[in-house]
Amino acid sequence: MPTPSISAVLDVLRTVVDPASGKDLVRLGWIRELAVDDFSIRFTLWMDAPTHVFAGDAQEACRQALSEEFGDAVTIEVGMDSEMIGLGEGLSIDGQDAHAVPGDGITNIIAVASGKGGVGKSTVASNLAVALAQNGYDVGLVDVDIYGPSIPTMFGLESAKPRVNEKRRIIPVEQFGVKLLSMGFLVDQDKAVIWRGPMVTSAVRQFLGDTEWGELDFLIMDLPPGTGDIQLTIVQTVPLNGAVIVSTPQRVALADARKGVAMFDQVNVPVLGIVENMAYFTPPELPDNRYYLFGEGGARALASDLDVPFLGELPLVQAIRENADEGTPVVTDRSEAVGDAFRSLASNLVQAVEVRNAARPATQKIDILRG
């Protein structure tokens, strides 16, 4: 019999499927407070509603699957917990009824951030979102960069205008299997440049909360560059599961990436990992050659120094930039080898999220910044 480990236990629990949604318990984020040693497996099954029809059966199904895999010598304890109030209900900001906060129906909200500008956040966020959708996840992508939204261009949707339904909620635009929303769809770019911080954050709150996302496994948020008030307010406005920090290998970028990690630490948002973009240059005619133009392995070293996962490195290749400018993220082109780098990044991220979800407390209170 194999000895239990966190990832081995999650692999087994991935075989237990909720019949209502057709999704397994790990993907649904139901496994919490997971603690594993050689002789015992303990966790809490966390459900969005205590009356969930699968509740009783799920507990038994988990126990059975785990004891089949790890044998009777391992003690298995499966607790239950659920959330009575949906995220976003009953919140008020400044005494007024706040707009709903996205959360209901969304399993994981992940911010893609960086300290320095232009390092490839939007490129990573777009390709990550499409790669996750290609792997069968329900994915949304939201561009909260009010001063320089890139998602409309990267998805070939410069003139898209999202519809509003009868409940006056925004319907995201769908492209390459991803539900998209960008500040660029809603705000006149010439006017937005003069907006001050508080206007930006209230607009962001409103457009995030008033959107009909439906059921999502992942909502990816493409943040504006920097670690200022705008970023801080955004990350405190939505219940983030974690953040992905993008950096290039240069020292100047790494110093800013470190500030990014510090910002998330300050607001208790776990950093799911660091991505090194433009890690090396590979010319199309010499696909096996790697030139480390900006130095080698800087972001990997930073990740290890800060004790956060390293999620992967992405090469500097012309196709990434060309596809971005043409409105087709490079992962949509199956003939581009670099797509594999993004797909492997996506699977590393899924793993990091699952491990993080499994470790987190069953009932979590979300602190909403007031004022």
CB of 57 to Mg ion, least distance (A): 45
Of residues 123, 211, 237, 241, which one binds ligand ATP by CB under 6 A? 123
Q: Which stretch binds ligand ATP (CB under 6 A): 170-178, 207-215, 266-274, 318-326?
A: 318-326
The interface with Mg ion within residues 292-351 (CB under 5 A) comprises none
Residue 214, C-beta contacts closer than 8 angstroms, at least 6 positions apart: 105, 138, 179
Q: Which stretch binds Mg ion (CB under 5 A): 143-151, 182-190, 196-204, 304-312?
A: 143-151
Of residues 44, 107, 114, 182, which one binds ligand ATP by CB under 6 A? 114
By CB under 6 A, tell whether 122 contacts ligand ATP: yes
Which lies closer to ligand ATP via its Cβ, residue 19 or residue 118?
118
Of residues 131, 299, 320, 345, which one binds ligand ATP by CB under 6 A? 320
Which lies closer to ligand ATP via its Cβ, residue 108 or residue 126?
126
Of residues 108, 114, 122, 248, which one binds Mg ion by CB under 5 A? 122
Binding mask 207-246 for ligand ATP (x = CB under 6 A): ------------------x---------------------
Of residues 321, 340, 361, 363, which one binds ligand ATP by CB under 6 A? 321
Two structure tokens written together for 20: 């209502």
By CB under 5 A, tell whether 150 contacts Mg ion: yes
Which lies closer to Mg ion via its Cβ, residue 107 or residue 123?
123
Which lies closer to ligand ATP via its Cβ, residue 110 or residue 324?
324
Four-residue CA torsion sign, 155, 270, 115, 267: positive
CA 295 to chain centre: 28
Are 32 and 23 contacting, i.e. CB atoms less than 8 angstroms apart? no
Q: Which stretch binds ligand ATP (CB under 6 A): 69-77, 179-187, 236-244, 316-324?
A: 316-324
By CB under 6 A, tell whether 119 contacts ligand ATP: yes
By CB under 6 A, tell whether 41 contacts ligand ATP: no
Q: What is the 3-state secondary structure (H, E, C) of the chain?
A: CCCCCHHHHHHHHCCCEECCCCEECCCCCCEEEEEECCCEEEEEEEECCCCCCCHHHHHHHHHHHHHHHHCCCCEEEEEEEECCCCCCCCCEECCEECCCCCCCCEEEEEEEECCCCCCCHHHHHHHHHHHHHHCCCCEEEEECCCCCCCHHHHCCCCCCCCCECCCCCECCEEECCEEEEEHHHHCCHHHHCCCCHHHHHHHHHHHHHCECCCCEEEEEEECCCCCCHHHHHHHHHCCCCEEEEEECCCHHHHHHHHHHHHHHHHCCCCEEEEEECCCCECCCCCCCCCECCCCCCHHHHHHHHHCCCEEEECCECHHHHHHHHHCCCHHHCCCCCCHHHHHHHHHHHHHHHHHHHHHCCCCCCCCCCCC
Size of the site for ligand ATP (CB under 6 A): 20
Backbone phi and psi for residue 143, each to the nearest 5 degrees, phi listed first: -105, 105
Of residues 121, 258, 343, 360, which one binds Mg ion by CB under 5 A? 121
CB atoms within 10 A of CB 252: 12
CB of 190 to Mg ion, least distance (A): 19
By CB under 6 A, tell whether 277 contacts ligand ATP: yes
Which lies closer to Mg ion via its Cβ, residue 88 or residue 152?
152
Which lies closer to ligand ATP via its Cβ, residue 317 or residue 352?
317
99: partner contacted, choices Mg ion, ligand ATP, none (Cβ within 5-8 A by kind): none
By CB under 6 A, tell whether 312 contacts ligand ATP: no
By CB under 5 A, tell whether 123 contacts Mg ion: no
The residue written with tokens 């009356």 in the block is: 51
Binding site for ligand ATP (CB under 6 A): 114, 117-123, 145, 148, 150, 225, 277-278, 314, 316-317, 320-321, 324
Give me the residues that bind Mg ion (CB under 5 A), please.
121-122, 150
